[in-house]
Structure 1
Amino acid sequence: MSSSSLHYTPNLRDIEFNLFEFLDIGRTSLGKAPFGDLDETAARQMLETFSQLCTQELAKSFDEAEHNPPKLVNGEVKLPPGIKAAMGAFYDAGMHLLEVPTHLDGLGAPPSLGWAAFELLLGSNPSLAFYTLGNLLARVIDRLGTDEQKKRFLPHCLERRWSGSMVLTEPDAGSDVGAARTKARQVDGDLWEIEGVKRFITNGESDIAENIIHMVLARPDGAAPGTKGLSLFVVPKFWVNEDGSMGEHNNVVCTKLEKKMGLKGSVTCELTFGDGKPTRGLLLGNVHDGIRQMFHIIENARMAVGLKSMAALSAGYFRALSFAKDRLQGSDLAKARDKTAPRVPILQHPDVRRMLMAQKAHAEGMRALCLFTASTQDQVELQGGHRSTAAGEADVLNDMLLPLVKGYCSEKAYELLSLSLQVHGGSGYLTDYPLEQYIRDQKIDSLYEGTTHIQALDLLMRKVARDGGATLQGLLSRIRETVEGEEGGPELKTERAALGEALGHLETMLGTLMGKLGESVYHVGFQGNRVLAAVAETVIGWLLVRHAAVAMDRMKTNPGDKAFYGGKVASARWYCHEVLPGIAHAARMVEHGNLDLMDVPEESF
C-alpha cells in the first residue's frame, strides 16, 4: 500500500462513547448558553460527516509534502496543490465555523465537541491543522480586541478564510521567551511599528490564503525585561484598513524555510519584521498584557499538541491492528513443535497481542484524558468564561490538566508508535506504510509549545504550587471516591484496588518531593518528568476504570455492541495490571533520588 492510500481509520466509536455515553455532553453542554443550539443528534451527524471528509478527502494529502514539499519563492511559500485542495474542502464543509461563536455566525459548539472533531483532522493529516489557526485568532480578537480591532478584522478573517500564526520564538530566545528582543515603537494610539527576527514560526508564510494574521510578542521601547515587558501585537501580512479592506504588503518577510525531520506539509519559517521599511501592528486590546494574552493561544496550542499525539497513536494502532489480522506468519505458539500446524495471523501471537493492547489502552486512555479536559473547558465557558469568579474551580482544573495532556501524550505516543511499527516487522520500516511518517511527524510534539520538562515544571511549580496543591488534591479526592465506591460492581473490584494502590503511591511521591524541595529545587528538575507521568497515568487509570463501568452497564442494554464494550473493559484491566503498578517504582525512585549528578564536573560529561 502507499502511505497515503486510506491510511487513516478514525476511532469514531470511542469518540462518541467519551462524548455521549461517559461525559454525557448532550445533557451537560450541548444547547446551553453560551453555546449554540446543536443537540446530540446534530452533533453525532456532524462528527460522522466530518469523519467521512477526513478519511476520503483530507487524508489524500497526508504524504504529498514528502515528495513535493513547500517551496520558498521570492519571499512567498508555495504549498503543494493537495494541501491547498484539502484545506479548501475543509472550509467548504464549514468545519472552520464549528467553535466560532454564534454572534460571529458560527455554530458555537462547546470545546468538547470542537476538540473531538479536531482529532479527526489531526489523524487525517496533522499538517492541515496548523492552517486553521486563523479561526482561533479570530476568537482571540473577539475576546480581547478593542471594538475598532474587532470591526477591522473579524468578519473578513472568517469569511475570507485568512490564515494565522503565533509568533514568539527568536534565534536566541527559544523556551526562554522573556529573552525576546523584537522591538515595538508606538506611532499613535494602538498603532505600532515592529522590528526584529522570529524563528520556528509555524504557518508564518504560505499562499493558502490571501492574508495571514500574525500574533507577535514584542517589547515596547522602555518596557521592563523578561516576559512582563512583552506586549502582543496583531500584525497582518497585508495591512488591513479600518473598514476591513486589504492594503499594501506589510513588510513581514519569510527569510528562511526550515528543513525538518517530519511534518513537512506544515510550513516552519523565519520571519523578519521591519527590515528596510516599517512593519505595522496593532496593540491587542490597546493594553500591555502580552504574555497573559498570548497564553490564550499557547494553552490552546498545547491542548492541540496533546490531541495530535493521541490521534497519531490511535492511527498507528489501527494500522498495526489491520496488519496483524492480515499477516500470516508462523504457527500458533502452543503448536510450535508441530511442523504440520497451519500458519496463523500474527494477531494470534501473544507478543503481538501485548503490543496491540499497549497501543489500544494508551490511545483510549489519552483520548479519555483529552476529552475529560475538554469537558472541563465546557464548564469554564458555561460558568462565565476564563478568569470569571464563577468558573474559578473549573478554570484552575483545566490549567492543571493541560500539562498532562501536552506533556504526557507527546512523550508516551512517541514511545508507543514504535510498537505500531514493530508489529509490521521489516515492512514498517518502509515508506510503503505510513508508520515511519507517523513517527517523524509526531516527534516534534514533545519539543514545541514547551518541552516535556517545561510541562513538568509548569505542573509542579505553577499549577500545583499556586494554590498549595488544593486543585490537585481535589482531583485526587475524586479518584479516591471511585476507589472506595462500587462503580463497576464486583467485576471491577481488582481494578479499583489497583487504582487505589497507585493513588497511594502517587500521594507518597508528591509528599516526598515536596519535602525534598527544602533541600534544593534541583529535585524537581530531576524528578519532574517522572511525577508528571505518574499523575497522568493515575488520572488515565481512573478514567479507564470508570469507562469500563459504563461499558459493562451498556452491554446489558446494548448487546449488539458487545465487542466494543468488551474492548473497553479489556483496556481498563490491562492498564490497571500493566501500567499502574509502575507508579510504585516511580515513587521509590523519587524517594531515593539525590543530587549527585550536579556534582559531576562538566569535563566528565
Structure 2
Amino acid sequence: MGHYRSNLRDVEFNLFELLERDRLFGAQPYGDIDLDTAKFILREVDRLAREDLAASFEEADRHPPVYDPSTRSVTVTPEFGGAYKTWMDAEWWRLRVLPELGGTDAPNSLNWALAEFVLGANPALWTYVGMPTAARVVWRHGTERDRKIAQIGVEKRWGATMVLTEPDAGSDVGAGRTRAVPNDDGTWNIHGVKRFITAGEHDLADNILHLVLARPVGVDGVGGPGTKGLSLFLVPKFHFDPDTGELTGERNGVYANNVEKKMGMNVSTTCELTLGDDAPARGWLLGEVHDGIAQMFEVIEDARMMVGCKAIATLSSGYLNALDYAKQRVQGADLAQMSDKSAPRVTITRHPDVRRSLLTQKAFAEGMRSLVLYTASWQDEIAVKTAAGEDTALAEAVNDLLLPIVKGYGSERSWVVLGTESLQTFGGSGYLREYPIEQYVRDAKIDTVYEGTTAIQAQDLFFRKIVRNRSVALTHLLDEVKAFAAASDPASPITGERRLLGDAVSNVEAIVAKMTSDLAASKDESTGISGQARAQTLRALGSAQTTPEDLVRPGHVLPVRCPHVPRNAQDLVWDRMVRIVERAGCTPVAAACRLVHDSGDVLDDAAAEDFAATFGLALVSAPQRVRVLAAGA
C-alpha cells in the first residue's frame, strides 16, 4: 500500500451534500458532464492517485532531478517520469482546458477536488502540468498568433511556467529589471535573470513555454517603474514552426543555470534562468498590449488556489496516516488503569492526548477541505452567471476575498499541524524516513512561502479584499455565517457550537473595525504599513467609483482624480491623495467636510459649506465627524 490516504467520502460529502454541486452537472455551461460521469471521474482519479501516481513519491524525493552543466539541461528520475506519463495519458487534466483548446468544461469545484487527489499523491506532478492554466490565459488575452501557440502547447503537451521572481525582486515584483527590446519582425529579445522558477527546466515535455514578466525599453509610453511597467512575453525553450508546432531543433536563449537543492519538493525542479546571455531569448508580447501584471495575475491566482489545495491534501493524508498508525501502535495501559502494572496494553488511540491530537488533525483537514471547495463553488458561480449573461461582481469579490485565506491560512495550518500533531502521533518513528510523514512536513513548508508569503496574503486580504472592496464581500460572507449560527433548534446537538460560531463572527467584525479605524487614524506619512510609503498604500486602496457620499464614510480612501473633486482646487491640494483619517462624536454633517491643509489648518463649518456648494458636493446626514487629510504624494 502506498503512502497516500485519500478521503473520497468527505470530498463527495462536500461537493454533493454540503455545497449541492450536483445541480450543476448536465446544465449549462457544464452540459457535457452529468452527475454519474462526475462521480465516476472522482472515483477513477482517486484510484489512479493512490495506486499509480503515489508510487514514485518517495523514490523521486530520494533521487531528485540531475542538472548537467555542460548542456544546461535537467534529467528527471525515470520513476517520476513514469508517473507523469500516466497522468498525462489519462487526460483528466483536459478538464481544466478550455473547450476551444480541446478541453471539456467542468466545474472548478470538481477540478479542485481532483487536484486534491493528485497533489496528495505526488504534489510535484501538478507543478509540471502548467499548460492548462497558461493556455487559458494566452487564449483569453492573446492575438490569433498567440492563440495558435496555446493550441499547439495543449496539443503537444508542452510544459509551461510563470517567470516573475528575480534575485533582487522577490515579493517586490515591481522591482524587476529583466528587459525586453523590440525586434523589427515583431518579436522581442528578453534580457535578464529569473530565480525560483518552478519546472523551469526538465525533460518531461518536448518544449516549455515560459510566461515571462519583463520591462520594455526603447518604446514610448511603456516600461515605466513598478508593476505597471511590466509586460508579459511568451518565450519558448525551443523554437518551433508557428503553423505546425514542430520543433526546429534550435534552442532559444533561455537556459537554467542550476537546480536548487531544497528542503522538500525535491523532484520539482526549482531553477535560476538566464535569458539572452549566450544567445537571444526571443519571445512574443502577449496580446500585443502592455498589461503584464494583470495578465499574469490570472496565473498567480490559480497558483495560490493550488497551494491551498496542496496544503489540505498533504494534511489530510498526514492525518489519515497518523490515524492508521495510532490504531495499530500498542503502548501503555488505559489511563483508568495506569497504576495497575498488570493491566493490558492498549493502542494509543485510547490515550486522551492522542485522541485530542487526532481530532485536531481531523478538524483542520476536513474544515480546510470545505474551505477550498467552498471557494471553488464561488468560481463555479462566476462561470454559471457568465454563461447566463448575469452580473458576476459579487461572486468575483467573494472568490477574491477567499483566495488569500485558502492560500495563507491553509498553508500555515497545514505546516503547523503536520509538524506538531501528525508527526507527533508517530513519536520517534515519525522522524524516520520509514514513514512518509517526515517528507510531508518538508514538502509542506514551501506552501507558506511561494506564490506570496503568508504576510503578503494578509496584506492582500486586508487592504485589497476588505478595505478596497468596502467590506462588501466580507459582509456577505459573514451574513451567511450569522444566518447559520442564529438558526434555532433546541434539539440540535450543535447548539453550543452555533453560539461559539456567532461569537467568532462578532470577533472578526470587531477586529476588522479596529484595523480599519487604525488605518484611518494613522498619520504616519513616511513609512506606512510594512514600510511602504503611505501614498503608495493609498493609491493601492483607491476606488474610481467614489461618490460625494463617501466623504462621510469613515475609513474610505478617495483617489485624487475623483470626478466629483475638480483638479483645479489647488488651494485644497486636491491634486494630492486625500483620505479620511478620523471619526469622532456626532455633529452636523457640515463638520464632516472639514479639511486639513498641509499647514494643518481646519476649515470652519461655513467654509466647509462654501466648499461643498462651490464644487457640487452633497452634504448627507451622517453620525460621524470626519476630517480629510491631504496626504503627501
2:550 is aligned to none
1:589 is aligned to none
- Superposed CA deviations along residues 129-188 of structure 1, whole A, max 9, x for unmatched, are 10111221112112211112112x233212221111100000110000000000001114
1:311 is aligned to 313
Amino acid of the structure 2 residue aligned with 1:187: N
Does structure 2 retain, via aligned residues, the 8 Å contact 1:385–1:391?
no
Counterpart Cα distance in 2 of 1:178 and 1:230? 8
1:603 is aligned to none
2:468 is paired with a residue whose SS is: helix
Does structure 2 retain, via aligned residues, the 8 Å contact 1:36–1:107?
no
Q: Report the alpha carbon displacement of residue 54 of structure 1 after superposing the two structures with TM.
A: 0.7
Counterpart Cα distance in 1 of 2:25 and 2:186? 38
Q: Report the alpha carbon displacement of residue 396 of structure 1 after superposing the two structures with TM.
A: 1.0
- Give matches, 1:504-519, under 5 Å: 504-517=506-519, 518-519=521-522
Residue identity over aligned pairs, in percent, reads: 49
What is the TM-score of this pair, normalised by structure 1? 0.83
Q: Report the alpha carbon displacement of residue 385 of structure 1 after superposing the two structures with TM.
A: 7.7
1:323 is aligned to 325
1:422 is aligned to 424
When residues 296 and 389 of structure 1 are mapped into structure 2, their CA distance, relative to the original with a 3 A threshold, is farther
1:359 is aligned to 361
Counterpart Cα distance in 2 of 1:147 and 1:12? 41
Question: 1:54 is matched with which residue: 49, 56, 62?
Answer: 49
Counterpart Cα distance in 2 of 1:47 and 1:190? 45
When residues 434 and 520 of structure 1 are mapped into structure 2, their CA distance, relative to the original with a 3 A threshold, is farther
1:545 is aligned to none
Counterpart Cα distance in 2 of 1:116 and 1:391? 23
1:24 equivalenced with 2:20 (yes/no): yes
Does structure 1 retain, via aligned residues, the 8 Å contact 2:72–2:256?
yes
Does structure 2 retain, via aligned residues, the 8 Å contact 1:30–1:36?
yes
1:396 equivalenced with 2:397 (yes/no): yes
Q: Report the alpha carbon displacement of residue 293 of structure 1 after superposing the two structures with TM.
A: 0.3
2:264 is paired with a residue whose SS is: coil
Query: Which of the two has greater helix per residue?
Result: 1
1:491 is paired with a residue whose SS is: coil
When residues 193 and 34 of structure 1 are mapped into structure 2, their CA distance, relative to the original with a 3 A threshold, is farther
1:187 equivalenced with 2:188 (yes/no): no
Q: Report the alpha carbon displacement of residue 392 of structure 1 after superposing the two structures with TM.
A: 1.0
1:242 is aligned to 242
Q: How many residues align?
A: 519
- Give matches, 1:247-286, under 5 Å: 247=248, 248-286=250-288
Counterpart Cα distance in 2 of 1:189 and 1:16? 53
Counterpart Cα distance in 2 of 1:256 and 1:35? 43
Cα RMSD for the two superposed structures:
1.8
When residues 190 and 33 of structure 1 are mapped into structure 2, their CA distance, relative to the original with a 3 A threshold, is farther
1:227 equivalenced with 2:223 (yes/no): no
Question: 1:149 is matched with which residue: 146, 149, 164?
Answer: 146
Question: 2:205 is matched with which residue: 190, 203, 209?
Answer: 209
- Give matches, 1:412-561, under 5 Å: 412-418=413-419, 419-486=421-488, 490-517=492-519, 518-519=521-522
Amino acid of the structure 2 residue aligned with 1:81: P
Counterpart Cα distance in 2 of 1:36 and 1:350? 50
Q: Report the alpha carbon displacement of residue 189 of structure 1 after superposing the two structures with TM.
A: 6.6
Counterpart Cα distance in 2 of 1:306 and 1:524? 26
Counterpart Cα distance in 1 of 2:164 and 2:489? 46
- Superposed CA deviations along residues 305-352 of structure 1, whole A, max 9, x for unmatched, are 011111110010001000000000011001111122111110111100
Counterpart Cα distance in 2 of 1:34 and 1:189? 40
1:562 is aligned to none
Q: Report the alpha carbon displacement of residue 525 of structure 1 after superposing the two structures with TM.
A: 5.3
Does structure 2 retain, via aligned residues, the 8 Å contact 1:135–1:163?
no
Q: Report the alpha carbon displacement of residue 41 of structure 1 after superposing the two structures with TM.
A: 0.8
1:116 equivalenced with 2:113 (yes/no): yes
1:64 equivalenced with 2:59 (yes/no): yes
Moved over 3 A (4+): 486-489, 520-526
Does structure 2 retain, via aligned residues, the 8 Å contact 1:100–1:109?
no
Q: Report the alpha carbon displacement of residue 190 of structure 1 after superposing the two structures with TM.
A: 4.7
Counterpart Cα distance in 1 of 2:491 and 2:200? 53
Does structure 1 retain, via aligned residues, the 8 Å contact 2:64–2:77?
yes
Amino acid of the structure 1 residue aligned with 2:147: K
Does structure 1 retain, via aligned residues, the 8 Å contact 2:29–2:387?
no
Amino acid of the structure 1 residue aligned with 2:225: P
1:266 is paired with a residue whose SS is: coil
Counterpart Cα distance in 2 of 1:36 and 1:193? 44
Q: Report the alpha carbon displacement of residue 366 of structure 1 after superposing the two structures with TM.
A: 0.4
Counterpart Cα distance in 2 of 1:450 and 1:487? 43
Counterpart Cα distance in 1 of 2:321 and 2:469? 44
Counterpart Cα distance in 1 of 2:135 and 2:447? 24
Unmatched runs of 5 consecutive residues or more in structure 1: 527-605
Does structure 2 retain, via aligned residues, the 8 Å contact 1:457–1:524?
no
Q: Which has the larger radius of gyration?
A: 2
Amino acid of the structure 1 residue aligned with 2:30: F
Question: 1:332 is matched with which residue: 331, 334, 347?
Answer: 334
When residues 36 and 217 of structure 1 are mapped into structure 2, their CA distance, relative to the original with a 3 A threshold, is farther
Q: Report the alpha carbon displacement of residue 111 of structure 1 after superposing the two structures with TM.
A: 0.7
1:591 is aligned to none
Q: Report the alpha carbon displacement of residue 102 of structure 1 after superposing the two structures with TM.
A: 2.5
Q: Report the alpha carbon displacement of residue 519 of structure 1 after superposing the two structures with TM.
A: 2.7
**Mean Cα displacement is larger for which, 270-279 or 242-251?**
242-251
2:467 is paired with a residue whose SS is: helix
1:512 is paired with a residue whose SS is: helix
What is the TM-score of this pair, normalised by structure 2? 0.80
Counterpart Cα distance in 1 of 2:294 and 2:490? 43
- Superposed CA deviations along residues 481-536 of structure 1, whole A, max 9, x for unmatched, are 1122247963221111111111111111111121222136889659xxxxxxxxxx
1:218 is paired with a residue whose SS is: strand
Amino acid of the structure 2 residue aligned with 1:397: V
Amino acid of the structure 2 residue aligned with 1:7: H
Counterpart Cα distance in 1 of 2:449 and 2:489? 38
Does structure 1 retain, via aligned residues, the 8 Å contact 2:28–2:387?
no
1:271 is paired with a residue whose SS is: strand
1:193 is paired with a residue whose SS is: strand
Amino acid of the structure 2 residue aligned with 1:113: L
1:115 is paired with a residue whose SS is: helix
2:578 is aligned to none
Unmatched runs of 5 consecutive residues or more in structure 2: 532-633
Counterpart Cα distance in 2 of 1:287 and 1:473? 36
Counterpart Cα distance in 1 of 2:43 and 2:305? 23
2:624 is aligned to none
Amino acid of the structure 2 residue aligned with 1:519: S
1:164 is aligned to 160
1:304 is paired with a residue whose SS is: helix
